[in-house]
Structure 1
Amino acid sequence: MATRRPPSRGRRPDKALTAQDILDAAIEIGDRESLEALTMRRLASELGFSTMALYRHFKNKDDILDGMADQVLGNLRLPDEIGPDPLTEARRIAEALLAMMREHPTVVRLLSTRTTTSRGSLRGAFERVLARLRQAGLPPGEAVDVYGLLMTYTLGFAAYQMPRPWGGDGEAAAELRRQRTHFYSGLPADEFPNMVELSSELTRLPTDGQFQAGLDVLLKGLAADLP
């Protein structure tokens, strides 16, 4: 019998621990904090069970990380209809990847620090995407190139945006942008002449508008190579 600790996070004391419970808690910790904060002991404490109860479902932390990748990457939400041309489909895929990474920052950390061969993640965010790009009209080799371009661009942007909350929407983000503009404009003008002059424009770097602007540049390059 698994030793049960006093339940935390409002969990029912009579609820049997499932693999899904463990993955949900692991993703929550990864989203909120970091993968370093995710330990078997921490997970057990969050769930109100002993660490031995976790080993009934997962062999080790790496096994849990693969399960997290399966759950997040494997459930990448893409539009039902494939775009009428490669450029439209590529934009849709990039926007879907960014939405996934913003909803679950843990996937940015997973993709940046490790590789996974778990089939759920490969099927959801690799096989499906390649298939859609090819169905939209890209030859096999170009489909691979475009996949890599979209993934690395989106991953890099999401990683840049994550610690910069002034890139978001709403009044709070707007106020943070105002404060950031004030910071840039207050730098010594003789040492940072360009940053002072462009202070208001610099705060747009982590915004979705900047993401779309960069994506436009990438897609224009792709369009130039297409027949």
Structure 2
Amino acid sequence: MAGPRSRTRALTSERIIEVATRICDEEDIEVLTIRRLASDLGVGAMTLYSYFRSKEEILDAIADHVMGAFRLPAAEETSPAAVVRDLALAFLEMMREHPSMVRLFSTRVNTTPESMRGAFEAVIGRLREAGFTDGDAVRVYGLIVQYSLGFASYQAPRPWGRPGLPDAEELRRQRRHFYAALPQGGFPNMVELADELTALPSDDQFRFGLECLIEGVLRRVPAGSAGDAASTTS
């Protein structure tokens, strides 16, 4: 629930989306209702309808807000491989900071100038600057978003793979025990590889897949760019 101080802040569209985003990220999209949002803001439910016509409109605004706030990672390395790697990691971080985006990305298309400029236009521009031309930049953008989105959705319900969580190691131990305790006759591979299986939702797995993706991408860029990029991965 919002504290007394936050309730005294002036009500604006931006404030409504800020609180709605917090509810979705910290709890769940299903928890967000007009009544719950109004309660956290300290206003009547009907007041919100003068800003947004429905929950769906609020969800669109959340996606626009988060995508519009996406910031390109610092361009410390500008080779194609380094750019793809940095962008994929940045998208994964955005989706972990805002877990609601995994579902919002999967259920709606955002076309506001803010969202397109932050997580679309600027990203494609960075890819073109790195040497990807014409359709290659668009296709690589798609690969980055789709791979990051898919991994974030896989990792979200498997917290033993998340770095930095205080109970991640204990959860991983429990999962390892679960796999190892399966009937040997029916699951010989899973029993023998119990430890390795617990790493599937880890960031190491994300990076492994990302390097495989980059290796494939580099085969499709112009020879000069591919040569420059390959030197960064050797």
Structure 1 residue 199: Cα displacement = 0.3
**Paired residue for 2:13, among 14, 19, 41?**
19
Structure 1 residue 82: Cα displacement = 6.8
CA distance 1:82–1:138, change in 2 (3 Å) = farther
> Are 2:28 and 1:53 aligned?
no
Please report the RMSD computed on the Cα atoms of aligned residues, expressed in angstroms. Answer: 1.5
Q: Distance in 2 between matches of 1:205 and 1:14?
A: 45
Matched pairs, number: 220
CA distance 1:31–1:46, change in 2 (3 Å) = same
Q: Distance in 2 between matches of 1:122 and 1:83?
A: 24
TM-score between both structures, scaled by the size of structure 1? 0.91
C-alpha contact 1:26 1:43 (8 A) present in aligned 2: yes
C-alpha contact 2:155 2:161 (8 A) present in aligned 1: yes
Match of 2:172 in 1: 177
C-alpha contact 1:71 1:121 (8 A) present in aligned 2: yes
Match of 2:57 in 1: 63
Q: Which moved more, 1:18-27 or 1:97-106?
A: 18-27
Alignment of 1:207-222 (within 5 A): 207-222=202-217
**Paired residue for 2:141, among 129, 137, 147?**
147
In the alignment, residue 2 of structure 2 is paired with which amino acid? R
In the alignment, residue 209 of structure 2 is paired with which amino acid? G
Give the 3-state SS of the residue equivalent to 2:4 in structure 1: coil
In the alignment, residue 125 of structure 1 is paired with which amino acid? A
- CA deviation vs aligned residue, 1:119-171 (integer Å, no higher than 9, x gap): 21111111111111011110110111101111110000000001111002245
Q: Distance in 2 between matches of 1:109 and 1:191?
A: 35
Q: Which moved more, 1:56-65 or 1:139-148?
A: 56-65
C-alpha contact 1:11 1:47 (8 A) present in aligned 2: no
Alignment of 1:1-227 (within 5 A): 9-12=2-5, 14-81=8-75, 83-170=77-164, 171-226=166-221, 227=223
Q: Distance in 2 between matches of 1:184 and 1:11?
A: 48
**Percent of aligned positions that are identical:** 53
Give the 3-state SS of the residue equivalent to 2:173 in structure 1: helix
Q: Distance in 1 between matches of 2:3 and 2:45?
A: 19
Structure 1 residue 217: Cα displacement = 0.4
Q: What runs of 5+ residues in structure 2 fail to find an aligned partner?
A: 224-234
- CA deviation vs aligned residue, 1:171-206 (integer Å, no higher than 9, x gap): 521111111101100000111111101100000011
